[in-house]
Structure 1
Amino acid sequence: MDLPDLPRGLTARPLVPTDLDAVYAVYAADEVADAGHLAIEPEDLAGDWARPSFDLATDSIGILEAEQFVAAAEVTRGGTRAEGAVHPAVRGRGLGSWLLRWTESRARTMGATTVGQTTPDGSAAQRLLLTQGYRLGHTSWVLELPEGREVGERPLPAGYSLATGDAVDRERAAYEVIQEAFGEWAGRERESFEDWAATTVRRPGTQPWQLRVVEHDRSVVGASFTILDSQGSGYVHQLAVDRAHRGRGLAQAMLADAFGLARAEGATRSELSTDSRTGALDLYLKVGMEVTQTWTHLVTDLPRG
């Protein structure tokens, strides 16, 4: 890679598994500074790094000063998706720009024709990408149920039932429903079961209750996966309904079910995220959720001039 020199005293190298805690500290500090809220957890990085499609030795980079990580970045999904973070204590030294060049170079090597990053609205990272000519791909929102409010339970229609996805066949079926539904989004590529599982049902600490399915005529037609994080949030990470079974209240029933199970496990908040590709924002607003954060996914074509 033809990259500019780093400032004096800084070095860069690919990440290794034992770097996880130190790199997590950088991502966490960056998120708090830019988003004003900590959501990322070490288990998120562990799941991401465990995906078979991700090669830590080639698809990641870390920047160190005095043997301490101060910045890091990754490129995933065949080069189309990048993530990066710079510790607030070392901002203003060009590290974000250096990481941007690294991610673009790695994405080109992987054969990608576009690469994008998701950043908090109004953040330093967003400003950097916009000044470099990145354009809006889609907008994402984090929503939360206000304290004391619940999603109203909605009975399932006759012939439908909720179940825990505690068997391999249900995991596979849930995966198919989610991939088919998410595949309707513009620019969303199907991921392998192994990649999906690494960040959901094989994510460190996952328990059977977190994957729930709706079944009809012995087939899975809806699925939800919920994360109970260390901040006390029951976060619905994924929720999908088969196209042929939409408009029957399955999504609201699964949402009430997921949040209720998370509360039973100790959650004190109920959250999820959605974006402008899904058309689901109005559903969540109608059940009483409120937007608490806005993120933008910014994209550029490769190669850049």
Structure 2
Amino acid sequence: MTSLVPALPAGYRSRPATVDDVPAIHALVLECEREVYGRGQSDVGAVAADLVRPGLVAESDTVVVLDGAGRLVARAWVDRRSEVDVHPEHRGRGLGAALLGWTVARARQAGVARVVQTVPDADTAAVALLRGHGYEPLVTAWLLEFPLSAEPSVPEPLAGITVRSFRPGDAAATHVLVQDAFDEWQERRQSYEEWAAHTVERSAFAPGRSALAFAGDQLVGAALALDVPGTGEGYVEQVAVRRDHRGRGIARLLLRHTFRAFHHAGLDACTLWTHSDTGALDLYLRVGMTVRHSSTVFRKDLGA
């Protein structure tokens, strides 16, 4: 199948992304985040993990855009989900529209029923672009934060529950726990390899600040933490509690353990993302977190 090429404005050229592009893509993403949020918040591991998503073929499902000097100024990928980023200095020239059109065309070519993309609500131009191309809101996502200026209190231990840090050998059981817990709202179960690439195998993974809860020898809860270099903040990638142990305060206990570990590391805050399909926003607010900013996940149905 012939790879699609985006119809770019004059002065730009495109090619598929490669692993060698990861540092430049990461720098681009940070610039886009600073433009919208006033700070960068992504680590390079997240960019690298996206390029090895199961089912994504870099040659046909990714694009990077270079300017006349050969600098990487935009990128896009699509595999049911999609992402498009354009450097702030190169916006307003049609690159975003060209790459958005490419993601839709590539998704249609691949026979995908719909494509989704997450856009910060503060990026009004991007929101307008997606709406103008027939995208509709699907769910709301929130970035929450917990300040670490003072040492966070940790609840008293729960009866029959022990908490310890993540250790080598915990990964397989944690993968099963997370997939079982997320079955209620995620479209599909992730293989161990896909899940690990976004969590325990990332260079930013912080096992000593990731808390696991056990009932006897059974893993019943996990809070997986990341150190995000250059931000002065910790990040919780995933929180999961086994269904038959919910409502006991295990998630709150795990989060507070993780917050305290980040405080002891001298960090300023801990953040995490959640979205409206999970139903977890109230839990995080009760733990003491507040919403820093919001995004919307948009979808475009492509038909059969």
TM-score between both structures, scaled by the size of structure 2: 0.91
Query: 110-119 vs 210-219, which deviates more?
Result: 210-219
2:197 paired residue number:
198
Q: How much does 1:249 deviate?
A: 0.7
CA–CA separation in structure 1 for the residues paired with 2:264 and 2:74: 38
Give the 5 Å matches for 1:14-33: 14-33=16-35
Tell me the alpha carbon deviations over residues 236-268 of structure 1, each in whole angstroms, 9 at most, x when there is no partner: 111010111001110000000111112223322
1:218 paired residue number:
217
Amino acid at match of 1:72: R
Tell me the alpha carbon deviations over residues 102-156 of structure 1, each in whole angstroms, 9 at most, x when there is no partner: 1112223333211111110031222211111211110011111245456542223
Query: Does the aligned pair in 2 maintain the 1:3–1:98 contact within 8 Å?
Result: no
Query: Does the aligned pair in 1 maintain the 2:204–2:228 contact within 8 Å?
Result: no
2:246 paired residue number:
246
CA–CA separation in structure 2 for the residues paired with 1:226 and 1:63: 33
Question: What secondary structure is seen at the aligned counterpart in 1 of 2:238?
Answer: strand
Question: What secondary structure is seen at the aligned counterpart in 2 of 1:7?
Answer: coil
Question: What secondary structure is seen at the aligned counterpart in 1 of 2:173?
Answer: helix
Q: Is residue 38 of structure 2 the alignment partner of residue 36 of structure 1?
A: yes
Q: How much does 1:53 deviate?
A: 4.1
Question: What secondary structure is seen at the aligned counterpart in 2 of 1:145?
Answer: strand
Q: How much does 1:36 deviate?
A: 3.1
Identity of aligned residues (%): 38
Which residue of the other structure, out of 56, 81, 87, is the alignment partner of 1:54? Answer: 56
2:157 paired residue number:
156
Q: How much does 1:50 deviate?
A: 4.1
Unaligned 5+ residue runs, structure 2?
none
CA–CA separation in structure 2 for the residues paired with 1:2 and 1:198: 27
Q: How much does 1:55 deviate?
A: 3.0
CA–CA separation in structure 2 for the residues paired with 1:210 and 1:49: 27
TM-score between both structures, scaled by the size of structure 1: 0.91
CA–CA separation in structure 1 for the residues paired with 2:56 and 2:283: 34
CA–CA separation in structure 1 for the residues paired with 2:19 and 2:105: 23
CA–CA separation in structure 1 for the residues paired with 2:187 and 2:157: 29
Query: 281-290 vs 203-212, which deviates more?
Result: 203-212
2:11 paired residue number:
9
Query: Does the aligned pair in 1 maintain the 2:206–2:225 contact within 8 Å?
Result: no
Two-structure CA RMSD over aligned residues (Å): 2.0
Query: Does the aligned pair in 2 maintain the 1:47–1:198 contact within 8 Å?
Result: yes
2:178 paired residue number:
178
Q: How much does 1:227 deviate?
A: 1.1
Tell me the alpha carbon deviations over residues 158-212 of structure 1, each in whole angstroms, 9 at most, x when there is no partner: 22111222233x2111111111222211x53211110110111100243431433
1:274 paired residue number:
274
CA–CA separation in structure 2 for the residues paired with 1:289 and 1:149: 14
Query: Does the aligned pair in 2 maintain the 1:227–1:234 contact within 8 Å?
Result: yes
Give the 5 Å matches for 1:83-122: 83-122=83-122
Amino acid at match of 2:159: A
Unaligned 5+ residue runs, structure 1?
none
Query: 294-303 vs 157-166, which deviates more?
Result: 157-166
Which residue of the other structure, out of 57, 71, 75, is the alignment partner of 2:74? Answer: 71
Q: How much does 1:52 deviate?
A: 4.7
CA–CA separation in structure 2 for the residues paired with 1:128 and 1:143: 26
Q: How much does 1:54 deviate?
A: 3.5
CA–CA separation in structure 2 for the residues paired with 1:86 and 1:46: 18
Tell me the alpha carbon deviations over residues 25-77 of structure 1, each in whole angstroms, 9 at most, x when there is no partner: 221112221233311122221233344543333321011112111110112xx
Question: What secondary structure is seen at the aligned counterpart in 1 of 2:39?
Answer: coil
CA–CA separation in structure 2 for the residues paired with 1:62 and 1:278: 33
